[in-house]
Amino acid sequence: MRLNDLRDNPGANKPKRRLGRGIGSGRGKTAGRGVKGQKSRSGVAIKGFEGGQMPLHRRLPKRGFNNIFARDYNIVSVGKLQAAVDAGRIDPSAPVTAETLVAAGILRRAKDGVRVLGDGDVWTALTVSVAGASKGAREAIEKAGGTLNVLAPPAPKPAQDAKA
C-alpha cells in the first residue's frame, strides 16, 4: 500500500449541496431559505424578538434568586437508618457518619453533609454524627436511647476574586 493509493470509503464524503443555481436544481432562487426578509439573510439571531413589542421574558416580573453559597445536603430518614441496621448494612455500635452511609450503600456520595429527618421509626440506639437534623429526628433517636451530634458547618469557600 502506498500513500497515493489511500481513498475514503465510497459514500464517506457527500458532495456539498450547491444552492441558488437555477430553478432546475430544486434549490434555486431562494436557496431553501423561504422568501424575502430578515431570516433569508445571513447572520440572523432573533430568538426572543417580537417585532418591536416588549418581549415576554422582559414583561414578566423577576422573582427569587439562586444562593450560590447554599449547601447541598443529602437527606436520610430515621426509618431508612433503621432499615439499614435491620439489613445488617450499618453496625449499630459504630457511629453513623456520612462516610458509613456511603459505605453502606444508603447514599451514592456525600455532598455538603447529611441531614436526618424524622420520617419513620427507629428502635435501635444509634450514635449519629451529621450536619443537621430535624426536631422529630432528634426526638426519635434520643427516645431509642441513641445520641445525635450535629457537626459544625464546613468553612465557607473563599471568593474567586480577580487577581490584581
Residue 111 CA to residue 108 CA, distance in Å, equals 9
Reported as a single tens digit per residue, the pLDDT across 86-131 is 999 999 999 999 999 999 999 999 899 999 999 999 999 999 999 9
Let me know if residue 120 belongs to a domain. yes
Give yes or no for a contact between 86 and 104, defined as CB atoms under 8 angstroms apart. Answer: no
Domain that holds residue 122: 74-150
What was the pLDDT predicted at 133? 94
CATH of the domain at 86: 3.100.10.10
| Residue tagged 440572523 (cell numbers) | 44
Reported as a single tens digit per residue, the pLDDT across 124-164 is 999 999 999 999 999 999 999 999 999 987 676 666 655 55
Confidence check: pLDDT of 83 > 70 = yes
Beta bridge partners, 130, equal 150
Looking at the 3D structure of the chain, how many domains does it have?
1
Residue 110 CA to residue 2 CA, distance in Å, equals 57
